[in-house]
Amino acid sequence: DFVDFVKFFDRIINRFEMSKSKEVEFIRELPDAPIYVEIDTDKITQVIDNIISNALKYSPDGGYIRFKLSTNDEQLLVEVTDTGMGIPPENVDRIFDRFYRVDKARARSMGGTGLGLAISREMINAHGGQIWATSVEGKGSSIFFTLPNNGDEGGEWD
Ligand code: ATP
Ligand code: MG
């Protein structure tokens, strides 16, 4: 599908903001101008849904989630930062492994399978992008992903 990624991302954020049950503030840093890209919107929706539901699930009341979108000629960069429990540095790359969950006992009580980020990585890689995380334990986490900035390909108009 050919979509304005700014509007696409903003709508997903809105859906979570309207239905959230926690006192978590949503902060948007989105470009003013549209960014057209060719993506599988169902799959990228699934990726963003998982990242936002993780940020909510692993955050206490009172924090914030910051959504940042930036671009250059080559790619789009999406950043979702939360003020949640964070991830120990030695585990931060393993959260993309199938069934991996940081704290088994705590994770069981929070529901889920540990597949969300593994599937997200497959989908982002299939789009030619990359996904990774940084975190400070006890302070919060950031999930980043890129997508190719392929919106003005084709060249029919030159
Ligand atoms: P599922 O997404 O399948 O419902 P899940 O959320 O446990 O289950 P993933 O989304 O793959 O699985 O995340 C893997 C693990 O990474 C989580 O169980 C959690 O331990 C850790 N994690 C992911 N996102 C965050 C975050 N924003 N803050 C803290 N820990 C996180
Ligand atoms: Mg998840």
What is the mean predicted confidence (pLDDT) over 69-91? Answer: 95
- Which residues' Cβ are closer than 6 Å to ligand 1? 50, 54-55, 58, 82, 84-87, 95, 100-102, 107, 112-118, 141
pLDDT of residue 152: 75
Can you give the pTM of this predicted structure? 0.94
ipTM value for the complex: 0.98
What 3-state class would DSSP assign to 80? strand
Cα 117 to ligand 1 centroid, rounded to whole Å:
7
What 3-state class would DSSP assign to 136? strand
The pLDDT of residue 158 is above 70: no
**pLDDT tens-digit readout, 56-74:** 999 989 999 999 999 999 9
CB 107 within 8 A of CB 101: yes
